[in-house]
Structure 1
Amino acid sequence: MNPILALLKENNISDTQINEIFEVLTQNPLAAMATISQLGLPQDKLQLLMGQVMQNPMLIKEAVEELGLDFAKVEAAKEQLQK
């Protein structure tokens, strides 16, 4: 299992919430980060999660694919942020 998904699941984040996070991520990565920070994760877990996301963006792609979402939307959102 993807380490981002595993971390969320081990902290009792529901599949519905996880799907919502990654849907938001495909549309607006900054909003997704705000959503993640509001999940009530312990600070050390939150820092670990954010570090994984920032250091290894491929984990996001893997998680999106594992959830069956469209990674092309993630790429489009990333391009918008770079403009």
Structure 2
Amino acid sequence: MNPILAILKEHNISDTQISELFQAMTENPMMAMGMIGQLGIPPEKLQQLMGLVMQNPALIKEAVTELGLDFSKVEAAKAQLEK
């Protein structure tokens, strides 16, 4: 299992919430950041999660693929943030 998804599941985040989070990430990354804060993940685990993403951004693509979402939407959202 993807380590991002594993950390989320370890904190009893439901599959529905995980899908909603990644869907939000593809549509509105800022909203996704707010959602992450509301999941109740302890700060040290959240820091570990962010470290994983920073060290290996490909994990996001793997998680999106594992969830059956369209990664091209993640790329489009990323491009919007860079403007």
TM range (shorter): over 0.9
Within the alignment, does 1:44 sit opposite 2:24 as a pair? Answer: no
Q: What CA distance in whole angstroms lies between the structure 2 residues aligned with 1:62 and 1:40?
A: 23
Match of 2:15 in 1: 15
TM-score of the two chains, using structure 2 as the length reference: 0.93
Shift of 1:49: 1.1
What's the TM-score, normalizing by structure 1? Answer: 0.93
Q: Where in structure 1 do 4 or more consecutive aligned residues deviate above 6 Å?
A: none
Q: Which residue of 1 aligns with 2:59?
A: 59
Q: For residues 55 and 35 of structure 1, what CA distance do their matches in structure 2 show?
A: 22
* Letter of the structure 2 residue corresponding to residue 43 of structure 1: P
Structure 1, unmatched stretches of 5+, are none
1:12 deviates by 0.4
> What are structure 2's unaligned runs of at least 5 residues?
none
Rounded Cα–Cα distance in structure 2 between residues aligned with 1:10 and 1:40: 12
The residue type equivalent to 1:7 in the other structure is: I
Deviations 1:50-74 (A, max 9, x none): 2222332211100000000000100
Q: How many residues align?
A: 83
Report sequence identity in percent: 72
